[in-house]
């Protein structure tokens, strides 16, 4: 079992496949139309989300992986919206743009969180310059070690066999989320992720588990594919290989919407493969991620904070590592209950006794303690290229394990001023020889009625001293 979430920032992945826009019109349905026996929806909100292969790429980016998305879009507003949404989250988009086609868009009309109808805007058979897509794939292969083929049967991967050959020739690991019954197209892929109905459409319905496993193995042997990850809804998932089988039960407590769950599963598997993780460990994380995403409405992603909490068996608890947006909501609730919020910040690269004493003293000043942690990039800017010793996820995990730390959040800037000014804790705590005016964010907090407290560090305790001692420099 994994003790901590991996550092996915080292993963370099290409996603190629059917890119589509998921559009939601949401409102209230309080009456039936006089024109036909259908509900009338008063639309209150319109939201665009990324679907298909784009959702796979978005899941990878949300978990910290570096991802390039290849696909086909029209020269239209929907194509531009897709690019904008993806690039805002750090996805590198390299699309083939075709003037003669329209970008795929799936419109869902929602009322009281229920889907009433889905309307698809798409070409019945996508016609585009496949050589241009192949050229883009070849261009990016040398900079990545894993490629995901996300096949929704819309035509982008009509020539997927050629693409797989190119990837394998470049020594790239290949994962496929398949579609249809012609699996010969996926020959020599390293891993495929059909769901149960998709697999049964190819190998037939099995009455017994052993028969299903053997049919899956026969499929793998026929098409020279080492691994099959079978997703089974409420029955969990099963990893099938020639010499072993592993199964995990489903993790979802409440299922609101399975839209895009398969995208999340293959995204996490790809991250694991890119880091050379054991496939069982990657499946464990993918199973947790799938359980999280089906508890959300609509096409959704999973954050590293959510995945970390799920790993510790407490997905519903909002303590521990949280995102900035989650923390803002949590603190609003805590303040409504008159809880006194204390915040402090730092790199916390190598946690030592001085840190522990300091954090204990900080928690004693109020009801809840929030620790803001510098990202790896901001630590490098402050401390030099040799730091941090421990990555962000490891540093946050250790801090979150301390009994007197309620929440841990990260920030990208060199100082937490923006974060403090947004969250406005009751007290900012800083260690060392500072005045209140010198503390980043202190002015905002004081203006809002809060205060700044300066605590003294424990003498003789510092991360720099620990590093020097470990290197024999003392």
Residues involved in catalysis: 263
Long-range (24+ apart) CB contacts under 8 A made by 212-218 are 213/238, 213/240, 213/245, 216/240, 217/241, 217/242
Euclidean distance between CA atoms 51 and 23, whole angstroms: 9
Main-chain dihedrals φ then ψ at residue 348, nearest 5 degrees: 50, 50
CB 428 within 8 A of CB 441: yes
CB 399 within 8 A of CB 351: yes
Which letter does DSSP use for residue 195 in this model? B
Kindly state the tokens that stand for 117: 């109808």
Main-chain dihedrals φ then ψ at residue 41, nearest 5 degrees: -105, 125
Euclidean distance between CA atoms 230 and 196, whole angstroms: 6
DSSP alpha helix (H) spans, 349-460 = 353-363, 376-383, 392-400, 417-423, 442-447
Q: Please, what is the angle between helix 261-274 and helix 53-62, to 10°?
A: 50
Q: Which residues contact 325 (CB under 8 A, 6 or more apart)?
A: none
Q: Which residues contact 279 (CB under 8 A, 6 or more apart)?
A: 191, 227, 239, 241, 272, 273
Main-chain dihedrals φ then ψ at residue 275, nearest 5 degrees: -95, 10
């Amino acid at each position: 079992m994994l003790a901590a979430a991996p550092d996915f920032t080292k993963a370099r992945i290409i996603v190629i496949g059917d890119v589509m826009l998921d559009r939601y019109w949401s409102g209230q349905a309080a009456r039936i139309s006089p024109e036909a026996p259908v509900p009338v929806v008063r639309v209150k909100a319109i939201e665009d989300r990324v679907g298909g292969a784009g959702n796979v790429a978005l899941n990878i980016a949300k978990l910290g992986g570096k991802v390039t998305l290849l696909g086909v879009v029209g020269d239209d507003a929907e194509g531009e919206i897709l690019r904008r949404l993806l690039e805002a989250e750090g996805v590198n988009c390299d699309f083939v743009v075709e003037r003669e086609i329209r970008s795929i868009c799936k419109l869902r009309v929602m009322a009281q969180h229920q889907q009433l109808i889905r309307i698809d805007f798409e070409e019945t058979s996508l016609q585009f310059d496949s050589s241009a897509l192949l050229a883009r794939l070849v261009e990016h292969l040398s900079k990545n070690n894993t490629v995901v083929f996300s096949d929704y049967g819309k035509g982008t991967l009509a020539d997927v066999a050629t693409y797989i050959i190119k990837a394998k020739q470049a020594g790239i690991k290949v994962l496929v989320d398949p579609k249809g019954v012609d699996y010969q197209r996926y020959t020599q892929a390293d891993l495929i992720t059909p769901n149960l109905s998709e697999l049964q459409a190819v190998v037939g319905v099995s009455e017994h588990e052993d028969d299903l496993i053997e049919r899956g193995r026969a499929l793998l042997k026929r098409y020279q594919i080492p691994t099959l990850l079978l997703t089974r809804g409420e029955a969990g998932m099963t990893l099938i290989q020639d010499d072993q089988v592993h199964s995990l039960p489903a993790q979802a407590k409440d299922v609101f919407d399975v839209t895009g769950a398969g995208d999340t599963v293959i995204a996490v598997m790809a991250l694991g493969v890119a880091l050379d993780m054991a496939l069982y460990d990657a499946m464990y994380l993918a199973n947790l991620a799938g359980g999280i995403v089906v508890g959300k409405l609509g096409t959704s992603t999973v954050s590293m904070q959510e995945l970390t909490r799920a790993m510790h068996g407490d997905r519903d608890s909002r303590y521990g590592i949280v995102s900035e947006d989650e923390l803002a909501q949590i603190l609003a609730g805590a303040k409504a209950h008159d809880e006194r919020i204390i915040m402090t910040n730092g790199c916390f690269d190598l946690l030592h006794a001085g840190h522990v004493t300091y954090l204990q003293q900080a928690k004693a000043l109020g009801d809840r303690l929030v620790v803001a942690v510098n990202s790896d990039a901001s630590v490098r800017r402050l401390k030099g290229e040799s730091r941090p010793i421990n990555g962000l996820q490891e540093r946050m995990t250790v801090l979150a394990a301390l009994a007197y730390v309620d929440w841990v959040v990260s920030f990208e800037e060199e100082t937490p001023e923006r974060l403090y000014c947004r969250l406005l804790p009751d007290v900012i705590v800083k260690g060392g020889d500072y005045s209140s005016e010198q503390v980043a964010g202190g002015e905002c907090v004081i203006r809002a009625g809060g205060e700044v407290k300066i605590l003294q560090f424990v003498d003789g305790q510092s991360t720099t001293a620990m590093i020097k001692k470990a290197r024999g420099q003392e």
